[in-house]
Amino acid sequence: MSENISQNKIRNFCIIAHIDHGKSTLADRIIEMTGLLTQREMQAQVLDNMDLERERGITIKAQTVRTVYKADDGEEYIFNLIDTPGHVDFNYEVSRSLAACDGAILVVDAAQGIEAQTLANVYLALDHGLEVFPVINKIDLPSADPERVASEIEDVIGLEAHDAPRISAKTGENVHDVLEMIVKKIPAPAGDSEAPLRALIFDSVYDQYKGVIVFCRVKEGTIRKGMPIRMMATGAEYDVVEVGYFGAGRFIPCDELSAGMVGYVTASIKNIQTTEVGDTITERERPAAEPLPGYKKVTSMVYCGIYPADGAKYPDLRDALEKLKLNDASLFYEPETSVALGFGFRCGFLGLLHLDIIQERLEREYNLDLVTTAPSVIYKVHKTNGEVIDLTNPTNLPDPSLIDYMEEPIVDAEIMVTTEFVGPIMKLCQERRGVYKSMEYIEETRAILNYELPLNEIIYDFFDALKSRSRGYASFDYTLKGYKPSKLVKLDILVNREEVDALSFIVFADSAYDRGRRMCEKLKEEIPRQQFEIPIQAAIGGKIIARETIKALRKDVLAKCYGGDVSRKKKLLEKQKEGKKRMRQIGNVTIPQQAFMSVLKLDDE
């Protein structure tokens, strides 16, 4: 099938929204109303196709779908809807997805208004030269105030909003207006399809038969079946096996993709590492002079140790990570060993959400029981001999006598909050060693706080603390700024007088005492009582700074043996034994998995 669609009948766009403002629902509605699927064929929220995404209401991987819309002007238009990840962890992915679009729909909740993330993503879209038009969603809510939200959009972002469609993606009300706006407001793609090929990679997935399936937007030139290609950044070369576009939930092959089109390419690519998001595909015989702008290598921001709860499952964990990595180029892992936990992996993530997602996918999709250690950022350790180490695992911290000084990563944080909570949030930032930069009022009742914060203060529970101290109203976004020297120490935890390496973490020296105390308290809650008394201690360089005691178990009896039902009794004992298995044996003490994440939950309020 040949694709001779004129560029002016194509619309490449994405939807920008804060979590829960209804991005996926609107996407579903658009797909449904453009007649690609009948309502019955549609599973709710076609685009979020991982279980996890549907459950959490967030998009993790970019999803793309092509539909055909017969507009009021009688013409048929091709819509390429590129759904982008919506979280700060995936900022780079977002920016690449945006670069594949020509316009964006901004969805704002008619009750909640603009959030920090919305703002960040709108600016990102405008930076990429995208045409952005707003849509006010959830007008069916009793608390909806579309007029207020419209003026907020005009005041804060500076987008014309008085004619913004007021819709309910849930009921479908006024969604037709959105479709018409897409045709009218979003520019058709430009680009010379005869020029040397330049196609932007904005995502890829792994298929066991086809190899890596690269999602791309052709900016210039044409990509065809059989064409020899080169990835401009990684230098990898392949011959195109198949090109095509995206049906709902399936790939539809075609002969070529020309400038302005969005689609996929397969080329028997076995290694996803060679198809990095942001890279440019060009033709080997007639390469473009310059790659498309904006490529950067993704780097992990947060590291943690992942271990199988049952040591014998190590090979399964390795296989699972290998498979996940095929679909997620930003996941990093390498083998490591812990005295407490045995063989496992040190894994690198884009952020805490990314970590969370990988952990959950390993557990759900690969049926693994995991022990995850406290996340750590990358510290730069300057040794007295001039050597600089990038420290990702606290256990590897050199002896303090060999350390000249240490640096920690700092981020620029932007927190949007209603004015009544400015106080508590400023206090929170202060507690987290934030340096106040500025505050702007975006309207009478809302302000943006700018702080410089150490990354290690926000990877733990900052987001939860922010939510709880603003009754859910604050939202936040950050970008890495650089490194700063800092007074840091390693806090060790001793359980029953044995140091548990997997519980060590790096902490700002002045907070060490407090963190140590709270860590001991938390572990006391998490570790079940056992046959004997267990002291929990926090120590810095061998000096004990805090202690708690877990009292011995006092009673655990199975009383009645009903009618000689020994099998039932045995089942109960087996259950108990299984329970013990799911915990980690450290010396004589069994520690449940979640205890290793305790450090994440130390916020006081």
Partner 1 sequence: MNKDNSDLELYIHIPFCVKKCSYCDFLSFPAGAELQEAYTEQLIREISASSAYGDGLRVSSVFLGGGTPSLLEPRLITGIMSAVRHSFCVSEDAEITIECNPGSTLRHKFAVYKKAGINRLSIGLQSAENTELRMLGRIHSYEEFLKCYQGARMEGFDNINVDLINCIPMQTMKTWRKTLRQVTMLRPEHLSVYNLIVEEGTPYYEMQQKGLLMLPDEDEQEEIDTFTREFLSKNGYERYEISNYARDGKLCRHNVGYWTEVPYLGFGIGAASYYDGTRWSNTRDINSYLEAEMTAPEGLCGIRNEIRRLTEADKMEEFMFLGLRMVKGVSETEFLQRFGRSMDNVYGRVLDKYVENGLIIREGYRYRLSERGMDISNTVLSDFLLDDQEGISDGK
Q: Among the candidate windows 175-183, 253-261, 464-472, 558-566, which touches partner 1 by CB under 8 A?
A: 558-566
The binder of partner 1 chosen from 569, 592, 594, 601 (CB under 8 A): 569
**Residue 492 CA to its chain's centroid (Å):** 29
Which residue, among 584, 447, 467, 569, has the nearest Cα to 528 in the 3D structure?
584
**Number of chain positions touching partner 1 (CB under 8 A):** 27
**Cβ closer to partner 1: 40 or 560?**
560
CB of 503 to partner 1, least distance (A): 23
Contact flag: residue 533 with partner 1 (CB under 8 A): no
DSSP string, 217-237: EEEESEEETT-EEEETTT--E
Find the binder of partner 1 among 70, 296, 570, 582 (CB under 8 A).
Answer: 570
Give the helix/strand (H/E) hosting 548. Answer: strand 543-550
User: Contact region for partner 1 (CB under 8 A) — 92-100, 125-133, 196-204, 573-581?
Assistant: 573-581
Distance CA 54, CA 314 (A): 29
Whose CA is closest to 113, among 425, 443, 423?
443
585 binds partner 1 (CB under 8 A): no
Among 41, 572, 585, 587, binds partner 1 (CB under 8 A): 572
Among 162, 250, 543, 554, binds partner 1 (CB under 8 A): 554
β-pairing, 211-220 vs 198-207, is antiparallel
Q: How many CB atoms lie within 10 A of CB 279?
A: 27
Q: Does 564 bind partner 1 (CB under 8 A)?
A: yes
Between the alpha carbon of residue 153 and those of residues 112, 167, 302, the distances in Å are 12, 16, 34
> Which residue in 190, 364, 561, 582 binds partner 1 (CB under 8 A)?
561
Chain CA centroid to CA 596, Å: 21
Cβ distance to partner 1 smaller for residue 322 or 574: 574
Give least dist CB 576 to partner 1, A: 4
From 138-146, 264-272, 288-296, 576-584, give the range in contact with partner 1 by CB under 8 A.
576-584
Q: Is 549 in the site for partner 1 (CB under 8 A)?
A: no
DSSP string computed for 306-367: EEESSGGGHHHHHHHHHHHHHH-TT-EEEEEEETTTEEEEEEEESSHHHHHHHHHHHHHHS-
Question: Regarding beta strands 103-109 and 10-17, do their DSSP bridges make them parallel or antiparallel, or are they unpaired?
Answer: parallel
Give the separation between CA 79 and CA 71, rounded to whole angstroms: 11
Select 335 or 579, whichever has its Cβ closest to partner 1: 579
531, 544, 582, 585: which one binds partner 1 (CB under 8 A): 531
Per CB under 8 A, the segment of 93-101, 357-365, 554-562, 594-602 that binds partner 1 is: 554-562
Shortest distance, position 564 Cβ to partner 1, whole Å: 5
According to DSSP, the β-strands at 76-83 and 63-70 are antiparallel
Out of 68, 402, 544, 566, the only residue in the binding site for partner 1 (CB under 8 A) is 566
Residues 324-353 that bind partner 1 (CB under 8 A): none
Q: Which residue has the tokens 């279980």?
A: 51
Name the residue nearer to partner 1 (CB basis): 66 or 584. Answer: 584
Q: How far is the CB of 499 from partner 1 (least distance, A)?
A: 22
> Least distance (Å) from partner 1 to the CB of residue 534?
13
| Residue nearer to partner 1 on the CB measure, 284 or 551 | 551
What are the DSSP calls for 86-130, one per residue?
-SGGGHHHHHHHHHT-SEEEEEEETTT---HHHHHHHHHHHHTT-
- Shortest spacing between CB 560 and partner 1, in angstroms: 6
As beta bridge partners, residue 181 has none
Q: Looking at residue 564, what DSSP letter applies?
A: G
Closest CA to 214 of 200, 226, 225, 228: 200
Identified binder of partner 1 from the candidate list 208, 209, 555, 604, rule CB under 8 A:
555
Tell me which of 129, 558, 582, 587 binds partner 1, using CB under 8 A.
Answer: 558
* Cα–Cα dist 91/82, whole Å: 15
The answer to the question of residue 576 lying near partner 1 (CB under 8 A) is yes
User: Is 209 a binder of partner 1 (CB under 8 A)?
Assistant: no
∠ Cα 400 352 465 (to 5°): 90
Task: Tell whether residue 312 is a contact of partner 1 (CB under 8 A).
Answer: no
Chain position carrying tokens 């990877």 = 459
Beta strands (DSSP E) in 419-487 are 435-443, 446-454, 475-486
Q: Is residue 557 part of the contact set for partner 1 (CB under 8 A)?
A: yes
> Site for partner 1 (CB under 8 A): which residue of 44, 560, 604, 605?
560
Residue list 121-140, contact with partner 1 (CB under 8 A)? none
Tell me the per-residue interface mask from 489 to 528 with partner 1, x by CB under 8 A, - otherwise.
----------------------------------------
What residue ranges bind partner 1 (CB under 8 A)? 530-532, 553-570, 572-574, 576-577, 580
